[in-house]
């Protein structure tokens, strides 16, 4: 944001949840039953599409619906509306995965270049250490834990990070991607000066 303001992430309040339940049914009880049905369907939707953490994505979908309801939007068909929001979220997830794949490919290409010229590798590692030291402790820990491990271990590490930070998996991915981009620019600048 150019004016220096920081956008606050919307969080689900009890009042917004109550409005959501009333939007899902005639009263709180029927709305609660519809909520459980919709959440179950959303979880299966994301699970069937191979998304990691399908329950988190279902919760994120419901939070987005609750925000709209809190802002005054009327929902005629809660199940259909929820699936529409879920499809949009799925597109975001797919785009995030594509960005992550591009980043991993770039990282692999960079690693190959370093292996081809060992002298550059030492400079690059020195620059990476320098750039990492410029991050806050929280960001440095996040980026190192995010990329730590291989295959299954990496997935488990990311699950632990999600739980530890209390954020959705997509938020974690975006933070890691932004930090990685910042580090890459910093390392390239450092190498150019060397």
Question: What are the structural domain ranges in the chain?
Answer: 14-91, 117-193
For 96-149, what is each residue's pLDDT tens digit?
777 777 766 666 565 455 455 555 667 878 888 888 888 888 888 888 888 777
CA distance 167 to 142: 12
- Which option is the CATH number for 117-193: 3.30.70, 1.10.3470, 2.60.40, 1.10.10? 1.10.10
Q: Region 48-73: what's the mean pLDDT?
A: 90
Q: Give the alpha-carbon dihedral of 133, 131, 170, 101, to 10 degrees.
A: -140
pLDDT surpassing 70 at residue 56: yes
Other Cβ atoms within 10 Å of 24 Cβ, number: 25
Tell me the average pLDDT of the chain.
Answer: 82
Q: Are 33 and 39 in contact (CB under 8 A)?
A: no
CA distance 124 to 114: 8
């Amino acid at each position: 944001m150019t004016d220096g303001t920081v956008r606050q992430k919307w969080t689900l309040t009890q009042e917004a949840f109550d409005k959501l339940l009333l939007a899902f049914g005639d009263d709180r009880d029927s709305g609660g039953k519809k909520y459980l049905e919709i959440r179950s369907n959303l979880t299966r939707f994301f699970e069937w599409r191979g998304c990691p953490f399908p329950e988190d994505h279902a919760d994120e979908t419901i939070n987005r619906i609750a925000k709209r309801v809190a802002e005054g939007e009327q929902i005629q068909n809660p199940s259909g509306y929820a699936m529409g929001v879920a499809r949009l979220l799925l597109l975001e997830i797919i785009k995030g995965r594509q960005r992550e794949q591009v980043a991993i490919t770039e990282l692999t290409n960079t690693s190959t270049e370093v292996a081809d010229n060992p002298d550059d590798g030492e400079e690059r590692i020195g620059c990476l250490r320098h750039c990492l030291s410029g991050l806050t402790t929280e960001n440095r820990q996040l980026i190192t834990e995010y990329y730590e491990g291989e295959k299954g271990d990496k997935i488990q590490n990311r699950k632990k990070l999600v739980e530890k930070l209390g954020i959705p998996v997509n938020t974690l991915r975006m933070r890691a991607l932004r930090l990685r981009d910042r580090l890459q620019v910093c390392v390239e600048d450092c190498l150019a000066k060397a």
